[in-house]
Amino acid sequence: MSIEKFLLIARIQMILFAIGAILSLIKVKSKQQYIMLLGFALLASVTADFTVPFLKGSTRNYAGSLYNMIGLPLISGIYYNAVGKRHANVFKFLSVLFVLFALMNVLFFQKISINSYTLIFESIIVISYSLYYFYWLIRELPTSQLHLLPMFWINSAYILFFSGNLFLFVFTSYLVNVLNNDLLVYWTLHNVLGIIEGLMIIVALWMDLRNIRLLS
């Protein structure tokens, strides 16, 4: 795997997320709140992907950690609104716990290396959200055509991305510190899953615009 191919795949992922962020702003007054939060999450991801390559050393690590500390609370907000604003204390508690964990990790443990512990914790939380949402969806059945529900695609995108990357995050420290691996191939897989996630989110946002047009 050449660095050029790696960077190309990373750019495709960033472009897809940027498209998603733009779609989330179309007919913004008619958007549901979880769609708006998704737009902010996509914008935060694009900003991080664009700025991190220009940073060096620990500064780069702090920037990535800051994105994670912003991203998980936004995702919590997405699920909180998607399930009818239930279990507010659970979503708040997990968000605060994650931010504190991520902050402690970058300041005292993985100061320079990839914050894999933070990524592992984030993945477990989002996978738990995703499984709960599927349970809620089966129990509530808000529509008989689930494939037309934007949140169905968003949830599927999240569970695919985070479950697919969880094992990578678990072994990141070992690959880097023991095997001295540059993670080029492994992180390319991470970005490929990000591309699939981006495409599914674009489908979700297109479904949302379609539903808005049908209701107007």
pLDDT at 115 over 70: yes
Confidence class for position 142, pLDDT limits 50, 70, 90? confident
Task: In whole angstroms, give the CA distance from residue 198 to residue 21.
Answer: 10
Percent of the chain with pLDDT over 70: 98
Q: Residue 18: what pLDDT?
A: 97
CA 80 to centroid of chain Cα atoms: 15
pLDDT surpassing 80 at residue 15 = yes
65-79 confidence digits (pLDDT tens): 899 999 999 999 999
Q: 183 pLDDT exceeds 90?
A: no
Higher per-residue pLDDT: 144 or 114 = 114
Q: Could you state, in order of their start, the residue ranges of all structural domains in the chain?
A: 3-215
Global model pTM greater than 0.75: yes
Q: What distance lies between CA 95 and its chain's CA centroid?
A: 14
Q: Rounded distance, CA 17 to CA 199, Å?
A: 8
* Confidence category of residue 179, pLDDT binned at 50, 70, 90: confident
Q: In the prediction, which pLDDT does 1 show?
A: 67
pLDDT band at 56 (very low <50, low <70, confident <90, very high): low
**What average pLDDT does this structure show over 110-127?**
94
Q: How far apart are CA 191 and CA 143, in angstroms?
A: 32
